[in-house]
Amino acid sequence: MDHRLPIARGGGAEVTNLVLACAGCNRAKGEMTETEFRALKALVSTWEDSGRDLMRRLKLGWFSH
């Protein structure tokens, strides 16, 4: 499960704020909102490699703090 609006950004644990997500996508989304993450995926899908390299790195946690 993942939070559409992360708890760190004011989201809660109510059912309407939860969505199914694989562990890699959950890790890649980090503290982004669902809308921000979907926008990022849409943007990188226009890249030559369709954003595969960036998404792979995000899912591995390469850019976490």
Q: What confidence tens digit (pLDDT) does each residue in 10-20 have?
A: 999 999 999 99
* Residue tagged 């939070």 (tokens): 3
Please report whether residue 35 resides in a domain.
yes
In a domain, 64, yes or no: no
Residue 60 has pLDDT above 90, yes or no: no
Confidence band, pLDDT 50/70/90 cuts, at residue 4: very high
At residue 45's C-alpha, the angle toward residues 17 and 32, to 5°, is: 30
65 located within any domain: no
Degrees to nearest 5, angle at CA 25 with 19 and 26: 60
Identify the sign of the CA torsion 44, 45, 50, 51: positive
Per-residue pLDDT tens for 25-42?
Answer: 898 899 999 999 999 989
- 42 occurs within a structural domain: yes
Residue position matching structure tokens 């982004």: 32
Is residue 26 in a domain? yes
Count of structural domains, the chain: 1
49 located within any domain? yes
Whole-number pLDDT of residue 59: 86
- The parent domain of residue 38 ranges over 2-59
